[in-house]
Amino acid sequence: MPEFNPNDPLFREIINFSKQSAVNNLLESGVEANFMQEMLDILKVGISTGAEYNDLLDELQVYTQGDGTSPGALERYIGQVASDAITQFTATYTHTVTQELGFEFYKYIGVRVRDSRPFCVKYMNQYFHFKEVEMMGEGDDPLTGIDLDDEFLKGRIKGTNASNIFVNRGGWNCGHQFAPVALSMVPQDVLRRAFEKGYWQPGTEILEKYEVV
């Protein structure tokens, strides 16, 4: 397994790649759906109902800037963009580095909050082989192989698949991460599950060390 050297040109390239990936993801983050579409809806309703010009401007101002007691959509959206920029960069960088270092197992880490998605609640603090994580990206439950229903895919980023699930995770504004873990930290039943599925094929010495067979 290669050693991690943050000064190595390879890892500098990984940082640049991670930054660009985060930017690209944010450019596809649904600005139209999260911000512009609601503004257009306000305009359509106002025009169709014959609202006064000044009343329509006031409604748009409240929508975008808030009413003094609660933040407007612009402030909320900026907060989400900032949060997603940080978490997606972290996720991209972490996954790219761990691929280079040869890690195969991940733990879905994070805390449960009031609006945690069913996907995150279901898998939080569990361990998975990376191929099982890729199954999640395709909308399949890695433990059963059955398709996840719409309830568990709420808030999912459009286009999420096996290649980008490590970055997209539970969806927009998700604070969870797939964190790489050493074999010594992975529960024995998870190691055995990955081995029996054919995902993890170490040598006999490793299998015996961790009592998988």
Which tens digits make up the pLDDT trace of 51-61? 777 777 777 77
Average pLDDT over residues 4-33: 57
CA distance 90 to 18: 8
Give, rounded to a whole angstrom, the gap between the first and last alpha carbons of the chain.
Answer: 24
Q: In the 8-state DSSP scheme, what is residue 140?
A: B
Mean pLDDT, residues 8-35: 57
Greater confidence, 90 or 109? 109
**Token match 């459009």: residue?**
158
Q: Look at the alpha carbons of 9, 18, 91, 72 in this order and tell me if their dihedral is positive or negative.
A: positive
Beta carbons within 8 Å of 31's beta carbon, 6+ residues apart: 77
Instruction: Write the Ramachandran bin of 194: left for phi over 0, alpha for psi from -120 to 50, otherwise beta.
Output: alpha
144: helix, strand or coil: coil
User: Whole-angstrom Cα distance, residue 36 to residue 31?
Assistant: 6
The reported pTM is 0.66
Does 207 score more than 70 pLDDT? yes
Higher pLDDT, 99 or 109: 109
Which of 14-23, 73-82, 117-126, 149-158 is least confident?
A: 14-23
DSSP E strand boundaries for 65-202: 105-109, 127-129, 177-181
Rg, C-alpha atoms of the chain: 22
- Quick one: pLDDT at residue 75? 63
pLDDT exceeds cutoff 50 at 126: yes
What is the mean pLDDT of the segment spanning 186-211?
94
Mean pLDDT value across the chain: 79
Q: Which residues pair with 105 in a beta bridge?
A: 129, 181
With beta carbons less than 8 A apart as the criterion, state whether 137 and 157 touch: no
More confident residue, 26 or 49: 49
pLDDT of the residue at 56:
74
Check whether 63 has a pLDDT greater than 60.
Answer: yes
Helices 9-27 & 73-101, crossing angle to 10 degrees?
150
Distance CA 209, CA 133 (A): 25
Give me the mean pLDDT over the 71-93 stretch.
Answer: 65
Instruction: Please report the pLDDT score of residue 73 as a whole number.
Output: 67
Please provide residue 173's backbone torsions phi and psi, each rounded to the nearest 5 degrees: 65, 25
pLDDT for the residue numbered 127: 97
More confident of the two residues 76 and 38? 38
Least confident segment among 25-39, 79-93, 101-115, 195-209 = 25-39
How far apart CA 37 and CA 39 sit, in angstroms, is: 5
Q: Quick one: pLDDT band at residue 7, thresholds 50, 70, 90?
A: low
The contacts of residue 65 (CB under 8 Å, 6+ apart) are 72, 74, 75
pLDDT band at 129 (very low <50, low <70, confident <90, very high): very high
